[in-house]
Structure 1
Amino acid sequence: MHWISIILIGIAANLDNLGIGLAYGVKRVKIPVLSNAVIAIMSMIVTFVAVTAGGTIVEYISPHIANLLGSLLLCTIGLWTLVSNRFSQQGIAEQPELFDEDKNYIISFREAITLGFILSANCLAGGIAIGAHGISVIWTVISIGTFSFITVAIGSHFGNLLTKTFIGKYSAAISGWLLIMIGVLEILG
């Protein structure tokens, strides 16, 4: 059951990255492999801190209560995603050139650090919830980093093509439903 949660949290936390990659692809702003790796590493660092913090919570309350709270937190984050449908990433998607400071249509290593930090915000609350469940820190971090790298790469590569697809249009809603599904799976598991 935890493997499914680890994979789903990796996907859910990074669907917005797909949208951001699409926005950059449409604007013809390139995200080189090294810059994409920096974005993924930033997500991994934030996830590690969040999952570790969530794991610390278990030391102060019973594992059952921590598991329930973590599951409810995931469901709440999913609902908030569905209701608000507005993250700071939406501003990035509308104006991706904001992070291309030198306006050369390439996201540099330094620009990728800032972008990666902002994109990793999705990993924070989900990471705390996962940590409260006692789910493997290392595998969660690897899942987040892997899916971050894949979604940004796919998005920036396919740009125009994917913005018109179901995933491109509804990435926030899909992410919200995935988080709710993970929370429910963990409550039942």
Structure 2
Amino acid sequence: MHYISILLFAFSANIDNFIVGAACGMKKVYFNFIEISILSGIILLGTLASMFFGKSLLCLIPAHFAGILGGVVIIGIGLYYLMAFYMKEKDSDIKNKEVNKEKKAILDEESSTEQKKLPYKDIMLLALALSVNNVGLGIGASITGLNITMTCFTSFIFSFMFIYLGNTAGKGRIASLIGKYAEPASGMIILLLGCLEIFI
């Protein structure tokens, strides 16, 4: 059952990478193999550090309570994702006033076929921002007993894959549609992961 939990963790923790990759792709910023490896590597280090921190907490938590606590932490993160999406949708009327401006900006971006490059400093900052998303999940997952090595390895693969796929999808219109529902989908998957760790 932990294999399923690891896959759910890797998917939900890295779905934001798809959104960021797609956003960059729509702005004609394309990442090469080395740049994606750097992004995924820094995200991996963030996940690894958070999981080791969660592991260190186990000595302070009764063994029979660890799985429940970790599951509760994960469920809390899932609920946060869903609430954040709900609040964004609630404010959509206000944001719609700026649609025309955004459309013009997109058209301006699309009118240029010149490929852009992010400085490595910006790539590092982007990776650090993305790794923050994995901290809470990493702590919760390690408390529930997920294998650190297998979880981090799987997460790295998903991270690399999502950045690449998002960056490629950013060349087309489908990326904006997928990106809109990525946050609630991630929240639901995180909730499922938390429930699995508590009840199974």
* TM-score (ref. length: structure 1): 0.86
State the Cα deviation string for residues 26-50 of structure 1 (Å, max 9, x = none). 1111111111111111111011111
SS in 1 for 2:30: coil
Deviation at 1:125, TM superposition (A): 0.2
Tell me what 1:4 maps to.
Answer: 4
Whether 2:52 is the aligned partner of 1:40: answer no
Q: After the TM superposition, which residues 15-26 of structure 1 pair with which residues of structure 2 at under 5 Å, given as runs?
A: 15-26=15-26
Computing the radius of gyration over CA atoms, which structure comes out larger, 1 or 2? 2
Deviation at 1:9, TM superposition (A): 0.7
SS in 1 for 2:152: helix
SS in 1 for 2:60: coil
* Fraction of identical pairs, as percent: 29
Tell me what 1:98 maps to.
Answer: none
Whether 2:147 is the aligned partner of 1:127: answer no
One-letter amino acid of the structure 2 residue matched with residue 18 of structure 1? F
State how far apart, in whole Å, the 1-side matches of 2:17 and 2:117 are: 17
One-letter amino acid of the structure 2 residue matched with residue 122 of structure 1? N
Tell me what 2:160 maps to.
Answer: 149
* TM-score (ref. length: structure 2): 0.82
Tell me what 2:151 maps to.
Answer: 140
Structure 1 segments (4+ residues) deviating >2 Å: 107-111
State how far apart, in whole Å, the 2-side matches of 1:3 and 1:149 are: 19
State how far apart, in whole Å, the 1-side matches of 2:145 and 2:68 are: 12
Deviation at 1:164, TM superposition (A): 4.2
Tell me what 1:55 maps to.
Answer: 55
Tell me what 1:101 maps to.
Answer: none
State the Cα deviation string for residues 102-147 of structure 1 (Å, max 9, x = none). xx71134332211101011111000000110121111111122111
State how far apart, in whole Å, the 2-side matches of 1:34 and 1:109 are: 11
Of the three residues 125, 143, 155, the one matched with 1:114 is 125
SS in 1 for 2:29: coil
Deviation at 1:65, TM superposition (A): 1.1
State how far apart, in whole Å, the 2-side matches of 1:162 and 1:10 are: 23
Q: After the TM superposition, which residues 58-97 of structure 1 pair with which residues of structure 2 at under 5 Å, given as runs?
A: 58-85=58-85
Name the structure where helix makes up a greater proportion of residues: 2
State how far apart, in whole Å, the 2-side matches of 1:13 and 1:152 are: 12
Deviation at 1:66, TM superposition (A): 1.4
Structure 2: runs of 5 or more not aligned: 89-101, 106-114
Give the aligned CA root-mean-square deviation in angstroms. 2.1
Deviation at 1:60, TM superposition (A): 1.1
Structure 1: runs of 5 or more not aligned: 88-93, 96-103
